[in-house]
């Protein structure tokens, strides 16, 4: 009887270890499958969120203050076109002047909110960001038309 108990005590751990090994292997496989499914779901969720973000109502046009008290910049957030808007007071004439449009994005390629302007420490310069591609542009405005331009920053 003692021999049977001793034999059982020797065999039992081996059986439990074998069952544990099978269980651990199956758990590892399950975790790997779940991780892959989550990665795929993450990609799908990102695409869905990007689509939803683009469909949220954003203004087509935005106004940005400059350091000059008479001038603002108007941005077409869909295609990246910029105008200098000057309001009139006393000797200052009210006007809207285009800042040499570079025309890289067509109406069909753009969406409202695609472009944003960021002021710099230089009064006459802004940085324009294409939020769709990450491209950046220097936007320079001036009351003198020969000093107005939009150029890519590469």
**pLDDT value of position 63:** 95
Strands (E), the chain: 61-65, 71-76, 82-86, 95-98, 115-119, 125-130, 136-140, 149-153
Reply yes or no on whether the pLDDT at 16 is more than 70.
no
* Domains in the chain, number: 2
Average the pLDDT over 138-150 and give the result: 91
Query: 52 and 27 in one domain?
Result: yes
Reply yes or no on whether the pLDDT at 3 is more than 60.
no
In the block, residue with structure tokens 């950046």: 136
Average the pLDDT over 17-24 and give the result: 59
Query: 126 and 72 in one domain?
Result: yes
**pLDDT value of position 55:** 61
Mean pLDDT, rounded, of the chain = 80
Query: 141 and 66 in one domain?
Result: yes
CB proximity list for 132: less than 8 A, separation 6 or greater? 111, 114
Alpha-carbon distance of 3 to 9, in angstroms, equals 10
Please check whether residue 136 is in contact with residue 130, taking contact to mean a CB–CB distance below 8 angstroms: yes
What φ, ψ does residue 81 adopt, rounded to 5°?
A: -80, 140
pTM: 0.62
Average the pLDDT over 93-111 and give the result: 84
Query: 87 and 147 in one domain?
Result: yes
Reply yes or no on whether the pLDDT at 111 is more than 60.
yes
Query: 139 and 93 in one domain?
Result: yes
Structural domain harbouring 96: 61-153
Reply yes or no on whether the pLDDT at 9 is more than 60.
no
Query: 148 and 74 in one domain?
Result: yes
Query: 136 and 65 in one domain?
Result: yes
Alpha-carbon distance of 132 to 25, in angstroms, equals 44
Query: 77 and 41 in one domain?
Result: no
Query: 67 and 125 in one domain?
Result: yes
Query: 65 and 51 in one domain?
Result: no
Most confident of the ranges 8-22, 30-44, 110-124: 110-124
Reply yes or no on whether the pLDDT at 84 is more than 90.
yes
**pLDDT value of position 61:** 95
Task: Sort 99 into a burial class: Cβ within 10 Å, 0-12 / 13-18 / 19+.
Answer: buried
Query: 139 and 109 in one domain?
Result: yes
Average the pLDDT over 24-39 and give the result: 71
Alpha-carbon distance of 115 to 75, in angstroms, equals 8
Query: 105 and 71 in one domain?
Result: yes
Domain boundary among 13, 39, 56: 56
Closest CA to 61 of 132, 5, 110: 110
């Amino acid at each position: 009887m003692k021999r049977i108990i001793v034999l059982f005590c020797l065999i039992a751990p081996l059986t439990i270890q074998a069952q544990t090994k099978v269980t651990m292997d199956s758990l590892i496989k399950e975790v790997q499958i779940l991780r892959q499914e989550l990665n795929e779901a993450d990609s799908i969720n990102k695409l869905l969120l990007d689509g939803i973000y683009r469909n949220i109502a954003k203004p087509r046009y935005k106004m940005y203050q400059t350091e000059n008290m008479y001038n603002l910049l108007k941005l077409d957030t869909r295609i990246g076109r910029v105008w200098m808007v000057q309001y009139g007071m006393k000797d200052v004439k009210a006007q809207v002047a285009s800042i040499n449009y570079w025309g890289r994005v067509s109406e069909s390629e753009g969406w409202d909110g695609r472009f944003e302007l960021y002021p710099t420490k230089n009064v006459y310069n802004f940085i324009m960001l294409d939020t769709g591609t990450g491209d950046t542009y220097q936007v320079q405005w001036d009351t003198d038309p020969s000093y107005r331009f939009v150029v890519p920053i590469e």
